[in-house]
Chain A
Amino acid sequence: MCIKLKAFLTKYMIVLVLIGLMIFSGIVTPAFLKPRNILNIFWQTSYVGIIAIGITFVMIAGGIDLSVGSMLALLGAFAITTSNKIGDSVGATVLSILLTYGLGALLGLGMGLLTTKGKIPAFITTLGGMAIYRSLVLNFANGGVYMSFSRTFSSFGMKFIAGLPLPMIVFIAYAVLAYIVLDKTKFGRYVYAVGANETAAVYSAIKVDVVRTITYVISGVSVATSAILLSSMMASVSSSSTGSGFELDAIAAAVIGGTSLSGGKGTIFGTFFGALILGVVNNMLVMLNVAVYLQGMVKGLIIIAAVLLQSLRR
């Protein structure tokens, strides 16, 4: 019985943390628990959440991706620019979305090859990518804003299906898909093996470089998903501010969810709830009208406490 309870706690501690936070916020501000607000939290979390899911693959395989925030701006700008150019029809919008996915995958592939074949530490390649992508976005927009003129493209980002915002649906579906890939496929097991012990993985005839590279492609595809949703919802991308800080939030979400910074450990389940915890904290700060200058401290404390609670259970 006791062992069962412990196993349960180990697995679902993060959910308990989340529920605890929500109860606390609900008591302080009842408006927090309005269904509308819960939907909003899911919605607001989905952009970073989807990216965090991609980054979980990279981190479990022992890598890191710092380029995701700038890449989001670049891919969002690309989606807007192509859909503006190609036209306003559904076909044109689908084409521009596919092109954006293609570019995202390609950029991920490049990062992956540079780290694996180029033998450059992931921290450096993706740090370089972060600077390059942001600079390209700024350059093409001259520091300004990319505006969407395609009604079709800017229509789906704010769509509700069965009462649920589309980004939230995509976020959940994406998490389920990622869970299946990571937990139920051979590839998923390879990802863990590569991150846990590279040498052992090599001796087990796992193509370490290929597995690692694919995790970066997954990250690129995740960023593309998030970029398309966000740029459609805002109907614009700011070359200077869109996506800034997303890399830290995505990494934080994964780490809160139990992903190890040194690889080999982590779950999609954890990342999903880690992202939601971040979302709840951001929402709480506004709901509780936390003083402007104290927000960073409150956020930092909650993040540290969440990770601490997770590690204490071991």
Chain B
Amino acid sequence: MRKFLLVLMVAVALVSFAAKYRIGVAIPAADHGWTGGMVWWAQYAIKQYQNDPNVEFYLVTAKEPSEQIAQVQALLARGIDALVINPYESAPLTPICVQAFRQGVYTVIVDRGIVSEEYNVYIAGDNYMYGYLAGKYIAEKLKGKGNIVVIRGIPSTIDDERVKAFKDAIAPYPDLKIIAEQPGYWSREKAFEVMQTLLTKFPQIDAVWTGDDDMLHGVLIALRQAGRDKNIILVGGACEKNIVKMIMDGHPLIEVDFTYPPNMIATAINLAVMALKGESLNGFYQKGIPRKIILSTETVTRQNAKDYYFPDSVF
């Protein structure tokens, strides 16, 4: 009888265990504003499910690739049904993601891809249009003539793609000149420093494109300090909340921003839950979740800025 009870208990435990979906979320640690935003959105999405007894989350953040590999190994050892991961770096994280996929873990890759096709879903922002739309906007605003400063992020493939797209967009205008292209490392202080130096070098700067909004803040401070915060076109990117607020309030220098939403991690988490529960995307005739999703780069102006303003978010 005792033995029977024990077996019964184990069986019940196993069944209740199996019914619960366990999802590992592995993302890079906050090392600049945007990644901070991603951590915030991951926590936000997880909080949405706090009253759902069927889903359980493990969120881990890593400072470098080997740490992230170790974290994913730990998650796999613990036993997860789905892995939502923004790989710190594509190549080194590929084997562990592939291993997860082969073990039958539903694998969602976010933003930075892996060098393999063995995953369930890939969801990312559109780096090309992110750079292209910024370039097109500046070219049209300047009517095809003027001096442009480009302050890019941390030199990397993502950054390269954006800058290349920016250059593609202004290529049809021979009178548009990129007079300087320097890295601001996605940091306010560094962008401030770079802009301060460029302002002394060039008496005429007509437009500045910064690879993201954090750096735009630094540029704004440099312009104000040099008394040159007029007759200049400024474009950042990724919709940091204070920049979006400025657009909402009709800032004279910043009229537009382009999305590269850190909330894609929240979308990815939702997709993983839907897949585990066997739900499909509303309006899709196909059952199941699409395998590759590139989010559109949306243009934020004064008219629609309020839809992109998340005052509680950290980014």
On whether the beta carbons of A234 and B192 are closer than 8 Å, the reply is yes
Interface flags for A216-257 (1: CB within 8 Å of B; 0: not) read 000000000000001001111011111010000000000000
B70 touches A (CB below 8 Å): no
Q: Which 9 A-B pairs have the closest CB atoms?
A: A144-B314, A143-B36, A143-B30, A240-B30, A31-B201, A37-B200, A241-B187, A286-B197, A241-B32
Asked whether any CB of chain A lies closer than 8 Å to the CB of B181, the reply is yes
Q: Is the interface of B mostly helix, strand, loop or mixed?
A: helix
Q: What residues of A have a CB within 8 angstroms of the CB of B202 in the complex?
A: 31
Residues of B within 8 A of A34 (CB): 200
Shortest distance between the CB of B217 and any CB in chain A (Å): 7
Q: Are A40 and B196 in contact (CB under 8 A)?
A: yes
Task: Let me know if A282 and B33 touch, CB within 8 A.
Answer: no
Query: A-B pairs with CB below 8 Å: how many?
Result: 105
B106 is an interface residue with CB less than 8 A from chain A:
no
Whether B249 sits at the interface, judged by CB under 8 Å, is no
- Contact residues, A277-303 vs B (CB, 8 A): 282-283, 285-287, 289, 292-293, 295
- CB distance B200 to A31 under 8 Å? yes
Bound together, the chains give a CA A233 to CA B220 distance in angstroms of 12
A282 in contact with B188 (CB, 8 Å): no
Check A292 against B33 for contact (C-beta < 8 Å).
no
Q: Do the beta carbons of A292 and B189 come within 8 Å of each other?
A: no
A230 with B314: CB separation less than 8 A: no
| Least Cβ–Cβ distance between B199 and chain A, in angstroms | 9
Instruction: Collect the chain B residues with CB atoms within 8 Å of residue A152's CB.
Output: none
Which partner residue on chain B sits nearest A283 by CB separation? B197
**Other-chain contact of A286, B36, B187, B198, B221 (Cβ < 8 Å):** B198
Is B33 a contact of A240 with CB atoms below 8 Å?
A: yes
Shortest CB distance B80–A (Å): 24
Q: Indicate if the CB atoms of A289 and B181 lie closer than 8 Å.
A: yes
From 155 to 192 in chain B, residues with beta carbon under 8 angstroms from any chain A beta carbon are 155, 180-183, 185-189, 192
CA distance A240 to B212 in the complex (A): 15
Query: B280: shortest Cβ distance to chain A, in Å?
Result: 33
Question: B22 in the interface, Cβ–Cβ < 8 Å?
Answer: no
- Proximity string of chain B (204-215) to chain A, C-beta cutoff 8 Å, 1 when within and 0 when not: 000000000010
State A125–B218 Cα separation when bound (angstroms). Answer: 33
Asked if A127 is at the interface of the complex by the 8 Å CB criterion, the answer is: no
- Asked if B39 is an interface residue, CB under 8 A from chain A, the answer is yes
18 contacts between A and B (CB under 8 A): A43-B196, A138-B29, A138-B36, A141-B36, A143-B35, A143-B39, A144-B313, A145-B33, A234-B217, A240-B30, A240-B32, A241-B185, A241-B186, A241-B214, A244-B187, A286-B180, A286-B182, A286-B197
Check A239–B36 contact: CB distance below 8 A: yes
Q: What residues of chain B lie closer than 8 Å to A238, measured between beta carbons?
A: 32-33, 187-188, 214
Q: Is the CB of A240 within 8 A of B35?
A: yes
